[in-house]
Amino acid sequence: MAPGESNLQTLLSSLEPILHNDLFVFHTIPHTTIADTTANLATLQPHLLFQEAEGTTVVVTREHADEHGFTDYVFPCRMITISVHSSLEAVGLIAAISAKLKDVGVSANVVSGFYHDHIFVPDGKEEVAVQALRDLAREG
């Protein structure tokens, strides 16, 4: 069993969203140029790297994307971290979060880290998303 909380009711009732100040963007790097970019990872400071068949997805702050000359990034967004240490094997947390955000009309791109789940929501929708997550915790 993976470490962290797996009981859905406990997860929901202890759900505390933390809104980060930075504006993030999604970018893709073709496999043919990933070696060049890898040398600059220290300055790029990616929050997410995920290799797909078509290229490597990179989530970085817009500031770092601009500094590295990435001009074709998409989805300016804000990151909300769920502070509870959820198990990677927990069932239903992401579904409950997604359903709640759907109900208030906010799209969400969710990333599960080892300790926490992180939700990327469109810039300008972050306050609605945070309030919805706080409501979900009260309902939990």
Reply yes or no on whether the pLDDT at 34 is more than 70: no
pLDDT value at residue 41: 72
Quick one: average pLDDT of 60-77? 94
Distance separating alpha carbons of residues 42 and 112, to the nearest angstrom = 22
pLDDT in tens, 84-140: 999 999 999 999 999 999 999 999 999 999 999 999 999 999 999 999 999 999 997
